[in-house]
Amino acid sequence: MNISHLNVCTFMKHHILTAFLMLNAAFAATAQTSDYKLGQAATAFNAIDDMLQTYRPATEIPLPRELALVSLDQLLHDTDNDATEPFYAFINTRMRRVLEDLDRPVAKGLRIYKLYNDGFIVKSPKATIAIDLIPGGSDAKPFITDSVVYGIAGKCDALFISHFHADHANLNVAKSFAARGKLVIAPKDLWVGVDPLIRPLEKENQEFDVEFEELDLTLHVLPGHQGDVYNNINVVEFHNEGTVAQTGDQWGTADLVWIDRVHEKYDIDVLMPNCWVNDMKRTIQGFGPRLIITGHENELGEHSIDHREAYWMTVRKMEKMEDLNIPYVLMTWGEWYDYQK
Ligand SMILES: [Zn+2]
Ligand SMILES: [Zn+2]
C-alpha cells in the first residue's frame, strides 16, 4: 500500500463517516419532525373535539364551530395524519360517544347521527335505522373498531345500503348486524346467500316500497344512479315522526327529471344528500325537505386530496342555497341532531 492509496482510503473513510453521520442526523430530524407533527395533530384533534362538543350542530354555525370544522379539514387533508394514532383516537372517541348516546330514547321526532363518510343512523321513538354504515380504513385496521360496530349493530334495528361501493357497503358491518339478529337490506345481487338476515333486494332501477310493520316504518326505494351504477335513494318514512331521504352517491343528470317531482309524492322532512351531488340546488328543490344534513365529506379513501370534500366546501356550496330558505345542519363524524316536524 503506498502513501497515496492510504490517503485515498482515509479520505474515503472520512467521507463515508460524514455521509453516515449526515444520514443519521437526517433520520433523527425526520423522527423529530414526525413526533412533532404527531404531537401537534393530537393537540389539534383534542381541541377540535372539545370545541365541537361545546358548539353542537345547529342550523346556524357559530364561528368557533366553523373554525373547528375548517381545522379538521386541514388535518384530514394532510396525508401525514392518515392512519396515525391521533386520528384513530379522535374518530374512535366520537364513535364510542354515538354508541353510548344510542341508549338515550327519542321521545318525539327523529335523532339523526352522522357517522364516517356517508353513514347515518336515524332513531325514532320506535325504530333505529342505519344507512351506509361502514368502518372506514382497512379490514386490518378499521377507523371504527369491530367492537364499536358490533355495539352499534346491537342498538339498531336494521341497516339499509344505497349501492355496492365499498365506501357505502361493508360485509363485516352487515355480518355484525346479522350476528345481532338485525336485518340488512342490501342492493340487488349483493351478498346473496351469506346470511338469512342479509337480504338483497329483488328489484333495482325502479321505485318500490318495503314495509316494516314491527318497526312502524316504510322504506321507499327510489331508483338513483352514480353514473352507470344503480344507486338506491333510501327514503325512510317513520310513521308519524318524519321522513328522511339519504341519496347515497347520487350523480345522474337523467335522474334529475324524476327527482324534480319527488316532493309531489313524498313529504320529506330531512334530506341527507352526498355533498357533491351533481346538482345540489335542483336536488334540494326536487325533494323539498324541511331540513338538509349533508354527508360524504372527508372520505379518506383513494381519492386525490381535492376530492376529500372538505367541510368548508360544503359551507360555500350551501351559502349558494340560501335563497331556497331551507335550514341546513353541517355535522361531522359522531354528532347528532334532533329533528321534530
Ligand atoms: Zn359510489
Ligand atoms: Zn360514496
CATH of residue 132's domain is: 3.60.15.10
**How far is the centre of ligand 1, averaged over its atoms, from the C-alpha of 230 (Å)?**
9
**How far is the centre of ligand 2, averaged over its atoms, from the C-alpha of 247 (Å)?**
10
Phi, psi of 200 (to 5 degrees): -70, 140
Mean pLDDT along residues 220-246 = 98
How many angstroms separate the CA atoms of 205 and 140, rounded?
A: 34
**How far is the centre of ligand 2, averaged over its atoms, from the C-alpha of 31 (Å)?**
35
Predicted local confidence at residue 6, as pLDDT: 46
Spell out the SS3 assignment of 15-32: HHHHHHHHHHHHHHHHHH
- Does residue 34 form part of some domain? no
For residue 167, what is its C-alpha cell? 365506501
**How far is the centre of ligand 2, averaged over its atoms, from the C-alpha of 204 (Å)?**
18
Q: Which of 141, 142, 83, 150 is nearest to 116 (CA)?
A: 142
Q: How confident is the model over 133-147, as pLDDT tens digits?
A: 999 999 999 999 999
Q: How confident is the model over 242-282, as pLDDT tens digits?
A: 999 999 999 999 999 999 999 999 999 999 999 999 999 99
Work out the percent of the chain whose per-residue pLDDT is above 90: 88
CA 268 to chain centre: 22
- Does residue 21 form part of some domain? no
Predicted local confidence at residue 301, as pLDDT: 85
For residues 149 and 182, the answer to whether their CB atoms sit within 8 Å is no
The domain containing residue 82 runs over which residues? 56-339
**How far is the centre of ligand 2, averaged over its atoms, from the C-alpha of 238 (Å)?**
25
**How far is the centre of ligand 1, averaged over its atoms, from the C-alpha of 329 (Å)?**
23
- Does residue 95 form part of some domain? yes
Q: Which of 226, 224, 192 is nearest to 205 (CA)?
A: 224
**How far is the centre of ligand 2, averaged over its atoms, from the C-alpha of 7 (Å)?**
65
**How far is the centre of ligand 1, averaged over its atoms, from the C-alpha of 195 (Å)?**
24
For residues 330 and 311, the answer to whether their CB atoms sit within 8 Å is yes
**How far is the centre of ligand 2, averaged over its atoms, from the C-alpha of 249 (Å)?**
5
**How far is the centre of ligand 2, averaged over its atoms, from the C-alpha of 304 (Å)?**
14
CA 45 to chain centre: 17
For residues 247 and 233, the answer to whether their CB atoms sit within 8 Å is yes
Mean pLDDT along residues 44-71 = 98
CB-based contacts of 289: which residues, under 8 Å, 6+ apart? 245, 268, 269, 270, 271, 326
Q: Which of 189, 95, 177, 60 is nearest to 128 (CA)?
A: 177
Ligand that lies nearest to the alpha carbon of residue 167, given by its number in the listed order: 2
Predicted local confidence at residue 18, as pLDDT: 65
- Does residue 7 form part of some domain? no
Angle (CA) 330 331 333, round 5° = 155
- Does residue 10 form part of some domain? no
Asked whether residue 27 carries a pLDDT value surpassing 80, the answer given is: no
Predicted local confidence at residue 43, as pLDDT: 98
For residue 114, what is its C-alpha cell? 352522522
**How far is the centre of ligand 2, averaged over its atoms, from the C-alpha of 28 (Å)?**
40
**How far is the centre of ligand 2, averaged over its atoms, from the C-alpha of 137 (Å)?**
14
For residue 273, what is its C-alpha cell? 344528500
For residues 132 and 246, the answer to whether their CB atoms sit within 8 Å is yes
Mean pLDDT along residues 280-301 = 97
- Does residue 193 form part of some domain? yes
How many angstroms separate the CA atoms of 276 and 234, rounded?
A: 17
**How far is the centre of ligand 2, averaged over its atoms, from the C-alpha of 165 (Å)?**
7
Mean pLDDT along residues 88-113 = 98
- Does residue 227 form part of some domain? yes
Asked whether residue 86 carries a pLDDT value surpassing 80, the answer given is: yes
Predicted local confidence at residue 306, as pLDDT: 87
**How far is the centre of ligand 1, averaged over its atoms, from the C-alpha of 178 (Å)?**
23
**How far is the centre of ligand 1, averaged over its atoms, from the C-alpha of 247 (Å)?**
11
- Does residue 203 form part of some domain? yes
Ligand that lies nearest to the alpha carbon of residue 132, given by its number in the listed order: 2
Asked whether residue 165 carries a pLDDT value surpassing 70, the answer given is: yes
**How far is the centre of ligand 1, averaged over its atoms, from the C-alpha of 167 (Å)?**
7
Predicted local confidence at residue 201, as pLDDT: 98
**How far is the centre of ligand 1, averaged over its atoms, from the C-alpha of 285 (Å)?**
23
Predicted local confidence at residue 1, as pLDDT: 43
For residue 316, what is its C-alpha cell? 360555500
**What is the count of structural domains for the chain?**
1
